[in-house]
């Protein structure tokens, strides 16, 4: 199969899964007695109503998706971006409040995320603990620890429903694009995605990291320290997810609510973004823009049509399930043209 | 904690053991046949919702159990189709199911009961005994019986031999005329059914209502328990009791001793205990040799 053909097949698979996800969205809209096509149209053009939210979601999801994609290149399933993001946001807020310094706040968040992810990495490499299990356990542990600090040390005496806010001096400024204000976090994330692309494709450690994931035994035979590269992948993942939490708190939300809703689900949805972006850093950035449009869209349609924003979570979940079954998608891509539908790739 | 309180914590651990044990037993069976189901968490959450819905519609917790069993089997079937027949990535399919379950149950809660957080309370009308003011459901006894039953099935019967052969060396099993795909399908459906019972137990029996994200990682704790047990039904029962105990200790401090901010920290106990248990036992775990690998006939 030629490279072009392969690329087109990949695009076809992703398009098919997105199509099924959108169909689910239409069914949900129908279930809440809203006009399905208008709901979908509004969801997919949410940047008109909520440009700042689309940009912010895309920024954070790019980082959490990279936190899934990098370990997967080394052969690991990292479900821990969720917890690293919580811890990153928490530490970043604490440092921002106490020092008023943005750089220190970002650094604290990134390092906290890396430390947590590093625990799962060491457990896997040294003791053989499955990283899916360890990262889920760490996510829940950090969730409760975060809530503890939200209602104790960081509680706002005036607004009991949230923490104190990041002081002005430690906030990331917004930028203006075509007269529309968006958080600068998006620019930072795109630069990071490009850097990760260069790292994975053009540097020696990046190539060796991918060699470990492509064929563990072959890499080991050639003397590649497999464990060290797996640990590196987890540290990088935690660093990016932790930074995601830090960027979100210093660039957009400025505080965390007492239920942690401000920071929830970015990690899990990042997995969907990584899969739609086929684990390629630039594909991830594009997929992040697409799925963030969908997620902001679900918030935009909620007040208008009464379709709950959780619709987006269900749609992303279904997209992932569909993407998990390559044989099913290949069958679908063979059948679709026969039904007289436009041929997408393949 | 005095002797009376310790006894109460012991009784709560029996109740807290049930959902983890049932889910883990089903997963022992599925994994022995070679299929991993990371989506157990999603099955628990969906069947907890379905159980309450059925119980509220009919006024009977039995209907909740039946619905949980049925929907759990269906979700097991879905996972089996992806994992066994479509040769899909078992881990990713499970991750997707968990996400879809979190979003789907939130939507369904709003559609059915008009709020995001929880269902109305269910009348818990199943056989149970009361010891020291703690209700012990009949499911505690069913769970223990199922553990011994599964042990007999796996270790003492021909069916058990076939399941293990398929999980260890599907090619050799195929050569002997065993239908690898069908065995894996059946084991995964049975695993889903047991997780469905566990989900229904959580909502219509243990807590008496559906609460958003109420599975709270139990599906993953059950997966950890399977590894901890060395893929052995009785080991899984013992492991579930240990995790149930850590859950009970957390509940003792949060509910019986009154809720304070520090209770949030007690909630971390089951997760840290799970992590520690897996870390200690991971090195010597001997897993089914073809676990998680789709079987493609050459």
For A314, B101, B218, B227, the CA distances from B19, given in Å and listed in that order, are 25, 17, 8, 17
* A249-286: pLDDT as tens digits: 999 999 999 888 899 889 988 988 998 888 899 999 99
The parent domain of residue B101 ranges over 3-284
pLDDT at site A179: 82
Q: Is residue A227, in this structure, part of any structural domain at all? A: yes
Q: Does the beta-carbon distance from B220 to A137 stay under 8 Å?
A: yes
Considering only A3-7, A114-118, A201-205, B64-68, which range has the smallest mean pLDDT?
A3-7
Distance CA B31, CA B79 (A): 13
The total number of structural domains in chain A stands at 1
pLDDT at site A313: 81
pLDDT at site B259: 62
Q: Does A169 touch chain B (CB under 8 A)?
A: no
Q: How far is B26 from chain A (nearest CA, A)?
A: 17
Q: Which CATH number characterizes residue B243's domain? A: 1.10.3470.10
Q: Does A145 touch chain B (CB under 8 A)?
A: yes
Structure confidence at residue A338 as a pLDDT band (50, 70, 90): very low
Q: Is residue A15, in this structure, part of any structural domain at all? A: no
Q: Does A26 touch chain B (CB under 8 A)?
A: no
From B86, B100, B278, residue closest to A314, measured CB to CB: B100
Q: Is residue B290, in this structure, part of any structural domain at all? A: no
User: Over chain B, what is the mean pLDDT?
Assistant: 88
A residues 291-310 lying closer than 8 A (beta carbon) to B: 308, 310
Report the percentage of chain B scoring pLDDT > 90. 43
Q: Does B268 touch chain A (CB under 8 A)?
A: yes
Average pLDDT of the residues in A224-229: 95
Q: Is residue B238, in this structure, part of any structural domain at all? A: yes
pLDDT > 90? residue B186? yes
CB atoms within 10 A of CB B149: 13
Q: Does A140 touch chain B (CB under 8 A)?
A: yes
Ranked by mean pLDDT, the top range of A13-22, A91-100, B76-85, B286-295 is A91-100
ipTM of the complex: 0.85
Q: Is residue B296, in this structure, part of any structural domain at all? A: no
Considering only A5-9, A195-199, B161-165, which range has the smallest mean pLDDT?
A5-9
| 8-state DSSP, B201 | I
pLDDT at site A83: 97
Q: Extract the tokens encoding B51.
A: 């159980």
For B51, B95, B131, B138, the CA distances from B122, given in Å and listed in that order, are 10, 30, 22, 17
pLDDT > 90? residue A211? yes
Average pLDDT of the residues in B172-198: 93
Q: Extract the tokens encoding B1.
A: 């904690």
Q: Is residue A45, in this structure, part of any structural domain at all? A: no
User: Over chain A, what is the mean pLDDT?
Assistant: 88
The parent domain of residue A171 ranges over 50-305
Average pLDDT of the residues in A55-72: 96
Mutate to test the interface with A, among B31, B83, B99, B212 (most CBs of A within 10 A): B99
Q: Is residue B293, in this structure, part of any structural domain at all? A: no
Distance CA A278, CA A292 (A): 16
Q: Is residue B17, in this structure, part of any structural domain at all? A: yes
Q: Which residue has the higher pLDDT, A340 or B198?
A: B198
Q: Which CATH number characterizes residue A107's domain? A: 1.10.3470
Pairing assessment for the beta strands B128-131 and B134-137 based on DSSP bridges: antiparallel
Q: Is residue A339, in this structure, part of any structural domain at all? A: no
B residues 41-100 lying closer than 8 A (beta carbon) to A: 82, 85-93, 95-100
The total number of structural domains in chain B stands at 1
pLDDT at site B298: 64
Structure confidence at residue A124 as a pLDDT band (50, 70, 90): very high
pLDDT > 60? residue A344? no
Mutate to test the interface with B, among A317, A326, A332 (most CBs of B within 10 A): A317
pLDDT > 90? residue A186? yes
What sign for the dihedral angle of Cα B225, A118, A277, A266?
Answer: positive
Average pLDDT of the residues in A232-246: 98
b/e map B131-140, b = 16+ CB within 10 Å: eeebebbebb
pLDDT at site A341: 40
Average pLDDT of the residues in A146-165: 92
Structure confidence at residue A333 as a pLDDT band (50, 70, 90): low
pLDDT at site A261: 86
pLDDT at site A143: 93
Q: Which chain A residues contact residue B38 at CB under 8 A? A: 132
Q: Which residue of A has its CA nearest to B82?
A: A325
pLDDT at site A339: 46
Q: How far is A48 from chain B (nearest CA, A)?
A: 25
Considering only A74-88, A165-179, B249-263, which range has the smallest mean pLDDT?
B249-263
Structure confidence at residue B286 as a pLDDT band (50, 70, 90): low
Q: Is residue A320, in this structure, part of any structural domain at all? A: no
Considering only A86-90, A138-142, B126-130, B156-160, which range has the smallest mean pLDDT?
B126-130
pLDDT > 80? residue A137? yes
**Are the CB atoms for B203 and B27 separated by under 8 Å?**
no
pLDDT > 80? residue A346? no
């Amino acid at each position: 199969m030629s490279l072009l053909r392969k690329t087109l097949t990949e695009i076809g698979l992703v398009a098919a899964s997105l199509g099924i996800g959108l169909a689910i969205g239409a069914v949900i809209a129908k279930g809440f007695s809203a006009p399905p096509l208008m709901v979908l149209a509004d969801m997919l053009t949410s940047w008109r109503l909520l440009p700042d939210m689309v940009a912010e979601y895309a920024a954070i999801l790019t980082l959490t998706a990279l936190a899934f994609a990098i370990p997967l290149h080394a052969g690991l399933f990292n479900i821990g971006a969720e917890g690293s993001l919580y811890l990153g946001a928490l530490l970043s807020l604490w440092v921002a409040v106490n020092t008023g310094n943005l750089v220190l706040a970002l650094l604290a968040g990134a390092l906290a995320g890396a430390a947590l992810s590093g625990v799962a990495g060491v457990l896997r490499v040294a003791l053989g603990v499955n990283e899916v299990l360890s990262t889920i356990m760490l996510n829940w542990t950090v969730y409760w620890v975060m809530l503890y600090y939200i209602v104790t040390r960081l509680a706002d005496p005036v607004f009991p429903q949230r923490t104190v806010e990041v002081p002005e001096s430690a906030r990331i400024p917004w930028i203006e694009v075509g007269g529309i204000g968006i958080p600068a976090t998006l620019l930072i994330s795109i630069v990071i995605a490009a850097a990760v692309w260069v790292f994975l494709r053009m540097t020696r450690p990046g190539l060796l990291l991918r060699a470990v994931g492509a064929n563990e035994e072959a890499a080991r035979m050639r003397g590649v320290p497999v464990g060290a590269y797996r640990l590196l992948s987890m540290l990088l993942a935690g660093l990016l997810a932790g930074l995601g939490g830090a960027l979100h708190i210093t660039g957009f939300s400025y505080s965390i609510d007492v239920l942690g809703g401000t920071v929830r689900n970015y990690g899990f949805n990042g997995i969907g973004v990584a899969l739609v972006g086929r684990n390629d850093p630039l594909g991830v950035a594009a997929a992040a823009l697409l799925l963030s449009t969908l997620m902001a869209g679900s918030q935009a349609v909620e007040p208008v049509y009464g379709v709950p924003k959780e619709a987006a979570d269900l749609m992303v979940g279904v997209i992932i399930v569909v993407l998990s079954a390559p044989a099913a998608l290949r069958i679908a891509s063979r059948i679709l043209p026969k039904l007289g539908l436009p041929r997408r790739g393949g | 904690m005095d002797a009376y309180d310790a006894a109460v914590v012991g009784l709560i651990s029996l109740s807290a053991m049930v959902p983890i044990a049932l889910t883990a037993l089903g997963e022992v069976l599925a994994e022995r046949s070679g299929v991993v189901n990371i989506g157990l968490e999603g099955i628990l959450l969906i069947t907890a919702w379905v159980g309450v819905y059925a119980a509220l519609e009919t006024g009977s917790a039995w209907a909740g159990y039946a619905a949980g069993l049925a929907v759990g089997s269906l979700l097991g079937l879905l996972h089996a189709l992806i994992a066994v027949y479509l040769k899909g990535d078992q881990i990713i399919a499970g991750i997707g199911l968990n996400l879809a379950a979190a979003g789907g149950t939130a939507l369904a809660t709003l559609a059915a009961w008009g709020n995001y957080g929880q269902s109305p309370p269910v009348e818990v009308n199943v056989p149970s005994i009361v010891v020291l003011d703690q209700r012990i459901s009949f499911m505690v006894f069913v769970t223990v019986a199922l553990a011994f039953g599964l042990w007999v099935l796996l270790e003492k019967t021909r069916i058990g031999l076939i399941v293990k052969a398929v999980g260890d060396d599907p090619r050799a099993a195929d050569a002997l005329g065993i239908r690898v795909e069908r065995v894996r399908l059946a084991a995964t459906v049975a695993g889903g059914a047991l997780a469905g019972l566990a989900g229904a137990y959580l909502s219509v029996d243990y807590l008496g209502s559906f609460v958003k994200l109420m599975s709270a990682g139990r599906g993953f704790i059950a997966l950890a328990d399977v590894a901890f047990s060395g893929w052995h039904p009785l080991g899984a029962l013992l492991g579930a009791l240990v995790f149930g105990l850590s859950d009970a200790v957390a509940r003792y401090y949060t509910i019986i001793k009154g809720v304070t901010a520090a209770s949030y920290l007690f909630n971390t106990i089951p997760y840290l205990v799970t992590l520690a248990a897996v870390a200690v036992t991971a090195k010597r775990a001997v897993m089914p040799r073809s676990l998680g690998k789709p079987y493609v006939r050459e």
